[in-house]
Amino acid sequence: MVLLTRRSDESVDPLSRALAPPKNESAEQRAIREAKEAEACRESNRIDEIIKQEKQAISRKKAPVKVLMLGQTESGKSTTVKIFQLSYARQAWEDERMSWRTVIHLNLVRSVNTILDALENAPEIASRVNLLRMRLGPLRHVQHDLETHLGLTEGEEIHAASEAGILRRPAEVCVRSRSGWAAALGFAKQRARNPGRHSLAEEALEVILKSRDDIAALWGDDDVRAALEERGVRLEDQSGFFLDDLYRIAHRGYEPTDDDVVRARLRTMGVQEYRFLFETGTHAGHEWIFYDVGGSRTHRGSWHPYFMDVKAIIFLAPISVFDEKLEGEAGGNRLEDSIKFWTTICKSKLLTKVQLILFLNKCDILERKLVRGVPLRRYIPTYGDRANDMPTASKYLRKQFQEIARKHSPEPRRVYTYLTTAIDTRAMAATLGMIRVGIVNDNLQTAELLR
Ligand SMILES: Nc1nc2c(ncn2[C@@H]2O[C@H](COP(=O)(O)OP(=O)(O)OP(=O)(O)O)[C@@H](O)[C@H]2O)c(=O)[nH]1
Ligand SMILES: [Mg+2]
- Tell me how far apart the alpha carbons of residues 13 and 190 are, in angstroms, rounded to a whole number: 74
Do 140 and 239 contact (CB within 8 A), yes or no? no
Query: What pLDDT is attached to residue 154?
Result: 43
Q: Is the Cβ atom of 111 under 6 angstroms away from ligand 1?
A: no
For 339-392, how does the pLDDT look when each residue is reduced to its tens digit (9 = 90+)? 999 999 999 988 888 999 999 999 999 999 999 999 999 999 999 999 999 999
- Quote the Cα angle for 154-158-159, to 5°: 95
pLDDT digits (tens, 9 = 90+) for 110-132: 999 999 999 987 777 888 888 99
Beta strand segments in 42-141, E: 65-70
Ligand 2 mean position, distance from CA 265 (Å): 8
pLDDT at 172 (0 to 100): 42
Over range 176-182, report the average pLDDT. 46
For the segment 324-352, the average pLDDT, to the nearest whole number, is 88
Ligand 1 neighbourhood includes 256 CB (under 6 angstroms): no
Identify whether the C-beta of residue 149 lies closer than 8 Å to the C-beta of residue 102. yes
What pLDDT sits at residue 121? 79
Q: Identify the band that residue 322 occupies on the pLDDT scale cut at 50, 70 and 90.
A: very high
CB within 8 A of 99, min separation 6: which ones? 185, 186, 188, 189
Residue 197: per-residue pLDDT: 52
15 has pLDDT over 80: no
Name the closest-CA residue to atom 24, ligand 1: 73
CA 19 to ligand 1 center in whole angstroms:
70
More confident residue, 208 or 93: 208
pLDDT attached to residue 365: 96
* Percent of the chain residues topping a pLDDT of 90: 47
- Give the pLDDT band of residue 188 (cuts 50, 70, 90): low
Question: 59 alpha carbon to ligand 1 midpoint, in Å?
Answer: 35
Mean pLDDT computed over 17-24: 72
- The reply to whether ligand 1 has any atom less than 6 angstroms from the CB of 365 is yes
Indicate whether 209 pLDDT > 90. Answer: yes
The answer to which of 133-137, 173-177, 421-425 has the lowest mean pLDDT is: 173-177
Domains in the chain: ranges and CATH: 64-92+270-449 (3.40.50.300), 99-255 (no CATH)
Which comes out higher in pLDDT, residue 329 or 349? 349
1 CB burial (10 A radius; 0-12, 13-18, 19+): exposed
Binding-site residues sit at 74-79, 268, 361-364, 422
